[in-house]
Amino acid sequence: MALFLRRIMLMLSIAFVALVSIATALSTSGSKLLVVLDPSIKKEDYSIFFDDLKDRDFDLDFRTSNDPNLSLFSFGERAYDQVILTLPPTQKALGPNLLAKPLLEFMTSGGNILVLLNPAEHALGSVREFARELGIHLPFRDTKLVDHFNYDAAISPELHDAVILDPATDLVAAPLLQVDSTKKILYSGSAFVLGNNHLLFPILRASDTAYVYDPAEELLESDAPFVSGTQAYVVAGIQARDNARAVIVASSSMLSDEAFNAADSANRELAAGIAKWTFQETGVIKLKSVTHKLANTVEENPQIYRVKQDITYEAEISEWIDDKWVPFVADDVQLEFTMLDPYYRLNLTAVGASGDSEVYATTFKSPDQHGMFTFNLNYKRTGLSYIEDKRTVTLRHFGHNEFLRSFEIPNAYPYITSLVVVVVAWMLFIVLWVFSGPEKAPEKKTQ
């Protein structure tokens, strides 16, 4: 349901953009882009891809991996906001500045990485280690993805390694990537395996008849494929807990001008979609504000509530579309009211837009347990930025004057009446006793 609503929202928001041209989107995380271009790759072969990036206001800095001045960090801070890595065709290292550890540190400080594997040489040791940290298992050297059912007969009629992928079935993240599903995606290279990490964001996979084989080992028959079927992924990403993104594309040739210019090819839109997700242009949401208060009162965010009070919670969430923040509509945002365990887990309803964000609200009765409770808004969905917000409040117990009064309890009626009756009867008795006495004073007996 959530996917459907999100799809509708995205479709509406890009309705005015022609499908062929690339929307003017800007990155929320910065425009300094480093491209580590291996000398075996000619910049001219990827001119369309880089021009599209330049159109979206990125400052491209082209370096080679053995550039001595290349460093991801400068004086302890990130020197770039995004990195595109391309890899050499033979087993050579990328240099000490691009080992797995600096790449991971780049991600933990908020930078985004796009890795384009070489179709022939799939991983250097350092990149394989980096991918393994993310939960992605790269294939071995010289392996190839083939599909005897969906291949481009013009390019590889015999070897079937120019695979055609169908955006309708093979594109896992279709709503976020906005690719025309009537076109096809051309791919030639290998494929990797994903682990079970829930932070992974699978993007493009092979069809169920494809498989990866090693021409050296499995020349005659495929008896132990590295991966086969829909478990073979060609593009996959990860979004770390600090919202830094990394995407691995199993073959850089998918982004080349040849692939873009082929007939009926969706590669250009796919490349734009992948780049936009990686560089924080799409799928970016943020929590604008959170307020909680007693229902129908004005004071916001008090520190103390009482048990059994009606509390209203409101959160505002925006989404970055093209170049501005707009309200983000979803139906699966949840609030947890927790003290060690959640006492409430409620679906927040979208009540309406307020400025550039959508307001989500709910009202509930605070539980009858006193203690320190937390409003926990934990909205993590694959492909969208993670939102987590925790606010702690005190829930105090009833005050001595907040309990039921005795006259409101029917059980107490006999006691109250007996109290009143005693008081009244005592007054009557006093009057009767004090003012009673003989009519005359007693006379002494006289003789």
d(CA 141, CA 134): 20
Interacting stretch for other proteins, rule CB under 8 A, among 38-46, 110-118, 143-151, 352-360?
143-151
Query: Nearest distance from residue 312's CB to other proteins, in Å?
Result: 16
Residue 276, interface with other proteins (CB under 8 A)? no
Q: Report 52-71 residues binding other proteins (CB under 8 A).
A: none
Task: Please report whether residue 45 would count as binding other proteins according to CB under 8 A.
Answer: no
User: Based on CB atoms, which residue is closest to other proteins, 65 or 243?
Assistant: 243
Q: Which of 29, 66, 71, 382 binds other proteins (CB under 8 A)?
A: 382
Region binding other proteins by CB under 8 A among candidate stretches 65-73, 182-190, 206-214, 288-296: 206-214
Backbone torsions φ then ψ of 163, nearest 5 degrees? -85, 145
Minimum CB distance to other proteins, residue 409 (Å): 6
Residue 390, interface with other proteins (CB under 8 A)? Answer: no
Residue 443 makes contact with other proteins by CB under 8 A: no
Q: Is residue 371 within the footprint of other proteins (CB under 8 A)?
A: no
Residue 198 found at the interface with other proteins (CB under 8 A): yes
Under the binding rule (CB under 8 A), the answer on residue 222 touching other proteins is: yes
Cβ proximity to other proteins, 351 vs 431, nearer residue = 431
373 binds other proteins (CB under 8 A): no
CA 230 distance to own-chain centroid: 24
Q: Is 160 in the site for other proteins (CB under 8 A)?
A: yes
- Considering only 24, 347, 349, 354, the residue that binds other proteins (CB under 8 A) is 347
Binding status of residue 279 toward other proteins by CB under 8 A:
no
* Interface pick for other proteins out of 42, 92, 308, 390 (rule CB under 8 A): 308
First to last CA, the chain: 118
Q: How far is the CB of 436 from other proteins (least distance, A)?
A: 6
Is residue 209 a contact point for other proteins (CB under 8 A)? yes
